[in-house]
Structure formats: C-alpha cells, structure tokens
Amino acid sequence: MPICWRKVGLTSRSPRLYARGIPENVGRPPRLFAREREGVYRDNNKPKRNPKFMSSKRQEPKYKINRRLAVNLWGRPKSPLNRREYGPGQHGQRRKKPSDFGTQLAAKQKLKGYYANLGERQFRRLYEEAVRRRGDTGDNLIELLERRLDAVVYRMKLVPTPFAARQLVNHGHVRVNGKRVTIPSYSVRDGDDIELGGKAKAMALVLEASRSGERDVPDYVEIDHDRMKGRFIRAPKPTDVPYPVSMEPNLVIEFYSR
C-alpha cells in the first residue's frame, strides 16, 4: 500500500522522505509533478515580484483615450477623434451629463494620459509630493510632471509622442549631464544638459520629429537639433506648458482630496 505524504504530515520536499526511500512524487498527481519539475507550475511559496519596481506598460492603443475623453489629447492629425467626434461603443453618441465626480475623474484621466498614460500609483505619488511642497498644489503637480525626463525629451521635439520619449529613455539613448539615464521618471533639475546618444541621433524617428511643424519648443527648454543637445532652463508654470487641450489641475486636486 503506497504511503500518502499528506497523512504523515510531511511535504514532498522533506529530507525525511528521501531518508525513508519514498520517491518525490508519492501522493501527488503525476501531471502536477511533471509540470512543477519542468518549471511550468507556479510555486506560491516563491517570493513575488515587488510591484514597486514593475515598469508601467501601455496595455491598449494609445489613441483610444482620445475618443473615451472626447479630446484630441496630443493634438495630432492622425487621431481618430478627427473623424469620429463621439465616444466609442454602441451608446457613444448619446448625450451625457457628467456628475461632479465624473468631471474630476475626466480631468485626472486627461492629465495622467497626456504623459504617456502614467500608472495610478505613480501619479498618486506625484500628487502627494505636490501636496508636501510649499505653494499651489496644482502648480507643483504640473512642475513635477514637466520635470520628468521623458516629458523633457518630448518637449524638445526629439520624438513625436510621449510614448516614444519613454521608449527612447528606456532603451538608454538619452544622457543627462553626460551620463546615461534609463529611468523615464527621472526628475530633471534646472540647468541639466540633455543629449541623445550617437545611434539615436541618426534615427529616422528622431530626425522626422525634429523637423516636424506640429509642435513648438517652449521657452523653458532650449534645444540644438543639429547636435541633438538641449538644456532644461527652469521649471514651468501651468500657463507656460503648451497643452493642445485645456488641463484642469485644480479638479485633479479636488479628486484626490475628497
């Protein structure tokens, strides 16, 4: 009669089982044992990956948020909202009267989505940092968002979209004061020099974005597109940021301070 390890109170990996000559897969389903041996079966006792260090990833097409919020978020001509100025789905053309909560939520989603669709946890940390600092919380929030390295690269017209700016930084093509930085949320200081690497300077995406007339470079950054090198001059105010749509950081503050 085979011995069941559950009855004797021992785990299948216990050294006492091997001492008794009991095989490792006694009392366990053969398929389960084979999958665990091959590394397919998930071991719940293994330490889980810390979500703090998991990078945010876009899980859907980036232009879907335009129709969902009924705004051309980045002011691009290829936005689907230019062809269909109504919401997605069967009931997208119905008139909706948003509540106060809905208005605040839309303002938060607009601001969060503009910066390459930031994760909620990361955006919440920026809000908490803006509250901790002195001065107007809405102005502090915009300043923290504009100091992000991927946002600075986007403002310098080195890439066409904020998503491309995040990817450029992640792949190690951006240098800050001569040192390579691969963290898109890196906070740029006043006077920092930002430069692209040698391979990135010859990318078709970078060359096309630098010659594009869709956007203008704001006055709080300066850029030399011949050398692909620029500088972050100062922290901007909300009125200095060239948003293609109206942003309402005061509604975002109201949303989080409920």
pLDDT at 3: 54
Choose between 51 and 229: higher pLDDT.
229
Name the amino acid, one letter, at 74: W
Q: Give the per-residue pLDDT at 160.
A: 92
Check residue 59 and give left, alpha or beta (phi > 0: left; psi -120 to 50: alpha): alpha
Q: Where does residue 25 rank: exposed (0-12), middle (13-18), buried (19+ CB within 10 A)? A: middle
**pLDDT band at residue 198, thresholds of 50, 70 and 90?**
confident
As a whole number, the mean pLDDT across the chain is: 80
246: phi then psi, degrees, rounded to nearest 5? -75, 125
- Contact yes or no for 201/208 (Cβ under 8 A): no
Q: What is the pLDDT of residue 9?
A: 52
Indicate whether 220 pLDDT > 70.
yes
Domain architecture of the chain: domains with CATH: 1-48 (no CATH), 64-88+95-144 (1.10.1050.10), 148-232 (3.10.290.10)
Tokens (6 digits) for 56: 């945010």
Of 6 and 150, the one with more pLDDT:
150
* pLDDT, tens only, 109-134: 999 989 988 999 999 999 999 999 99
> Where is pLDDT greater, at 82 or 23?
82
Q: Is the pLDDT of residue 145 over 90?
A: yes
pLDDT at 91: 64
Average pLDDT over residues 205-225: 92
